[in-house]
Amino acid sequence: MAETMISLSRTLQAAALSLAVLPITAVAIAPPAAADARGRTDAGASARRMLAQLKVAAPLSLRGYSHRRFQPRWAHHKGECDAREVVLARQGRGVRRNGACQSVKGVWRSPYDGKVLKSVKQVDVDHVVPLAYAWRSGAKRWSQAKRRAFANDLSRPELVVVSHSVNMAKGGQGPQSWRPPHRAYWCRYATSWITVKHHYRLFVTRAEKVALLNMLRTCGR
């Protein structure tokens, strides 16, 4: 019995030693910067695929367009809160609202120009694909209900908080004639634009497509 116990002890010791010398496989953890770059590259590749699926056509006439054909007013989503207030709350820091769900205080960063905005009077909620531009890209043929849904879309990257000044500079222009002054945002801007157009099956012009492809180069490959 004693010999059996000694043999078992030696066997266990040998097994422990063999486990101790097993090689340890290192697990590489990508640094945040590398992970961010990979994410931008993947987003750019996905956007290129979606862009390739969009119809290329000449813009429609602006005849018949008015802001009210899309948005007589912001649509309500949660009680007294309309789409604009929802966007202001989710994209700001320390946002405070009054009893009517209107933002009265907060801090926002405008991604188009990098400005930090500390007053509600300085901010606008921009339609990434401008309403007038969407009209000429096919929305002219939509129903009023679909245009209203587009103008108040909280699921796609169509609504973004920006500075009032940069929003006025952009107006209803497309990427072939206007780009965010903050070049680091070009990848995000182009992917957002394409995502919205792809979801709503809006077409692009040749110049618009070329401009979007140029902006996507900032996403990496």
Give the model confidence (pLDDT) of 136-151 as tens digits: 999 999 999 999 999 9
Q: What is the pLDDT of residue 36?
A: 62
pLDDT > 70? residue 34:
no
Mean pLDDT of 97-112: 96
Name which of 160, 186, 161 is nearest 175 in CA terms: 186
With bands split at pLDDT 50, 70 and 90, how would you rate the model's confidence at 9?
very low
| For residue 204, pLDDT beyond 60 | yes
Question: Is 17 part of a structural domain of the chain?
Answer: no
For residue 205, being part of any structural domain is answered with yes
Is 76 inside a domain boundary? Answer: no
pLDDT, mean of residues 176-186: 98
At 96 the pLDDT is 96
Indicate the Cα dihedral angle 180, 56, 206, 67, nearest 10°.
-40
87 within some domain = no
Whole-angstrom distance, CA of residue 124 vs CA of residue 102: 13
Predicted local distance difference test score (pLDDT) of residue 3: 44
Asked if residue 215 is part of any domain, the answer here is yes
Q: Give the confidence band of 33 by pLDDT, cuts at 50, 70, 90.
A: low
Please say if the pLDDT value at position 30 is more than 90.
no
| Average pLDDT estimate for 75-102 | 93
- Residue 211 belongs to a domain: yes
| Contact (CB, 8 A) for 71 and 149 | no
Q: Please tell me the least confidently modeled range out of 10-24, 40-54, 78-92, 150-164.
A: 10-24
Q: Is residue 109 domain-resident?
A: no
Residue 105, domain member (yes or no): no
Residue 178 pLDDT level (bands cut at 50, 70, 90)? very high
Number of independent structural domains in the chain: 1
pLDDT on residue 185: 98
Parent domain of 203: 31-71+124-219
Least Cα distance to 215 among 174, 173, 166, 179 occurs for 179
